[in-house]
Structure 1
Amino acid sequence: MAAIRDLGVDTIIRYYDNVAETLPCKTLVPEETQAILQAGFSLLAVFQHNNDNPMTFVTPGRGTLDAQRAIELALANGQPSGSAIYFGVDGVDGAIQSANYEYAKSAGGEISPSRQATLKASMGAGSFRKHQEFYDIYREEAVDLFGGTAGKHGPHDILPYIDTYFRDIQTIFTNFGNQTGIRYKIGGYGGGLVCEHLLSSGMVEYCWLSQSKGLAGYQSFEASQKWVMRQELTTICNGWKFGTGGDFQFDFNTVNPRTPDFGQWNTQVDYAVPFSRPLKRDGVGCYAWRD
């Protein structure tokens, strides 16, 4: 952390996630919060649990569940009232575009073995798996989910589901604030189209622009200066190694000088609220420095 501080970093952004994390050690926990704040950083939290999958937003009730878990973690980490929790919309508008492109390339059928090999080589196995899973759902349910004609959908067709997701979050946050007096602001992370939509509809107070310049609306939203942060391309620190091997890497973010307050916090409140710890994987836990 001292080395990161020497790079000029002021705020560390960490994840909130469900108990069954999408990545081991993804979830911010109180011990880490305390260490980060004591090292002189501010913190910002973003909730992500398969928020790169369009079906997360299509699934009824997911916004409610994610909001409840986010509040549980905010209390456990001593996140003070008045700060923000961001929720990811991680390229699902682009996934609609990709499914439509695939629909045309594959003539509405299954992806051929030769094309599968090409996509795996260009996208990587993990990204291809996600692409194929959603494409298979799209082939069967496109009209039921999005109306219109299969193969003719675009990024705007996911927006009604994103609306529902964030309305559910707003309801949970508002009710919680009314009951407790603890009020968390809502932020969004996503591409330009999604950020513009969330801000203009009043569903978020802040929007953090994704580094994915290929997503719809990136250039216009960047130029609008409505973003509070702009995510930059991934930085790889040669010589800094993860415990599991591989080079340490992270994304710098540029803070808009117009909005130096974007929901970060630098104090920890002891709410004395227990919470559901992330699950252990292979006997190893992530919620203490030694486990």
Structure 2
Amino acid sequence: MDDSGKESCDGEFQMNIIDTPWNTSDKLAKLSSLGITTIIRYYNFSNSRTLPEKRLELAEAQHICANGMKLAVVFQQLQNKVSCFSFQKGVAAGKRAFSYARDDIGQPEGSAIYFAVDFDASHEEIEANIIPYFKGIKEGFDTVSGDEPQYKIGVYGSGLVSNSLTEKGLVEFIWLSMSRGFRGTKQAFAAGVYNLCQQAPAVSQFGLSFDYDVVNPEVSDFGSFTIEDDESQALGAGKNESRYRVIARSGLRLREGPGTGFDIIGGMSRGQIVYVKEIKEGWASIDLEGDGHLDGFASAAFLEQT
């Protein structure tokens, strides 16, 4: 999420929650040494070339929980301008987030999925676009769940956005973005009307970029969760959802290891369906046949989940 021009939510808090668009699997021991207890990761429709590890995958979720940490999640594709928001876009986001949480991650019922509003929306934009978007999210949840939604809806954004959605009964959790200059954010923080508050500045340690977040000391619940860490269960449950399509125009090289320094051992054509076992440091481990055997590695930036 954009961190330009942002100031932190002031005060004395425990700095044990982070959010990041990067895979944390190989950084968990170091994060634990910092006292991190919860990691906030992303759901989306598809990753971008600039953020090829943005979406939380099952293997990472299991690694996080196996290391004694909790998870929280936010859905964000772009959501950084008003044109990203409409009722129909909310329905699509709600369906995708709910299905991915339930079918791919095994997120437990009663926990939260936050949805990002990553810009300083005005009153008019909230009424015309943001409120319809969150009404669409609720409809998307109802459609997938058969009118029995098992996840709570949260919002990441400004104080004004959060307050407007709360008044309409559309969200149960509030995560204030770190921009104190956004409408209503300073007031919401001062009044304690939030569950989480993102901190500035962004941090980069041991090769991982992340933001710190603090929990409202008066409201301990913010919708976090844990999942089972049984990896043998994970392979069976996630097999159908690990299908990826090669989107590189001229095809994609298959390498012996995760990096350009490893030998090229084959290639994949544009549009080819492959199975991805894990994505780490921007490199996907590839199973060409879907038989559980590793065939090589390829750049995750040129793969799209189907």
Tell me the TM-score normalized by structure 2: 0.66
Q: 1:250 is matched with which residue?
A: 210
Q: 1:17 is matched with which residue?
A: 44
Where does residue 218 of structure 1 map in the other structure?
A: 185
The 1:77/1:212 distance shift into structure 2, 3 A limit, reads same
Could you tell me which residue of structure 2 aligns to residue 170 of structure 1?
Answer: 138
Aligned pair in 2 of structure 1 residues 261, 277: CA closer, same or farther (>3 Å)? farther
**Other-structure match for 1:199:** 166
Residue 7 of structure 1 is aligned with which of 26, 34, 56? 34
CA apart distance, 1:20:
4.9
C-alpha change, 1:63 and 1:226, in structure 2 (3 Å) is same
Taking the aligned partners of 1:252 and 1:68, their CA distance within structure 2 comes to 29
- Kindly indicate whether residue 295 of structure 2 is the aligned counterpart of residue 287 of structure 1: no
* C-alpha distance in 1 between matches for 2:278 and 2:155: 26
Larger deviation: 188-197 or 228-237? Answer: 228-237
The residue aligned with 2:66 is 38
In the superposition, the TM-score normalised over structure 1's length comes to 0.69
Task: Indicate the residue corresponding to 2:90 in structure 1.
Answer: 63
Superposition deviation, residue 280 in structure 1? 5.6
**How far apart, CA to CA, are the structure 2 residues paired with 1:249 and 1:73?**
24
Give me the whole-angstrom Cα distance separating, in 1, the residues matched to 2:30 and 2:278. Answer: 22
Bigger relative contact order (CA 8 A; separation at least 6): 1
How far did residue 259 of structure 1 move? 2.0
Task: Give me the whole-angstrom Cα distance separating, in 1, the residues matched to 2:170 and 2:59.
Answer: 31
Distance in 2 between residues matched to 1:250 and 1:163, nearest whole Å: 29
| Partner Cα distance (2:187, 2:60) in 1 | 37
Q: 1:88 pairs with 116, 119, 127, which one?
A: 116
Task: Give the partner amino acid of 1:183.
Answer: Q
Q: Cα RMSD (Å) of the superposition?
A: 2.5
C-alpha deviation, 1:7, in angstroms: 1.2
Q: CA deviation at 1:92?
A: 4.6
Which residues of structure 2 form unaligned runs of 5+?
1-27, 255-275, 286-296, 298-306
Output the CA distance in 1 between the equivalents of 2:58 and 2:111: 16
CA shift digits 1:25-68 (9 cap, x unpaired): 1111111111111011100110001111211114x511111111
Per-residue Cα deviation, 1:169-216 (whole angstroms, up to 9, x for no partner): 11121343346x561110000011111111121110001000011111
Higher strand proportion (structure 1 or 2): 2
**2:17 aligned residue:** none
| 1:157 lines up with 2:124 in the alignment | yes
| Separation of aligned partners in 2, 1:174 and 1:14 | 23
Given the alignment of the two structures, is residue 27 of structure 1 paired with residue 55 of structure 2, yes or no?
A: yes
Deviations 1:137-186 (A, max 9, x none): xxxxxxxxxxxxxxxxxx1111121011000111121343346x561110
Q: What is the 5 A alignment of 1:257-268?
A: 257-268=217-228
How many aligned residue pairs are there?
221
Amino acid at match of 1:3: K
Residue type matched to 1:84 in 2? A
- What SS does the aligned partner of 1:287 have? strand
Q: Which moved more, 1:16-25 or 1:35-44?
A: 16-25
Deviation at 1:9, TM superposition (A): 1.2
SS, match of residue 233 in structure 1: coil
Three-state SS of the structure 1 residue aligned to 2:141 is helix
Describe the superposition over 1:226-250 as per-residue Cα deviations: whole angstroms up to 9, x where unpaired: 2000100134335x22xxxxxx321
CA distance in 2, matches of 1:237, 1:79: 28
- Conservation of the 8 A alpha-carbon contact between 1:54 and 1:158: yes
Pairing 1:209–2:236 present: no
User: How many Å separate the matches in 1 of 2:137 and 2:187?
Assistant: 27
Distance 1:156 1:280 in 2: 42
**Structure showing the higher helix proportion among its residues:** 1
> What amino acid sits opposite 2:57 in the alignment?
V
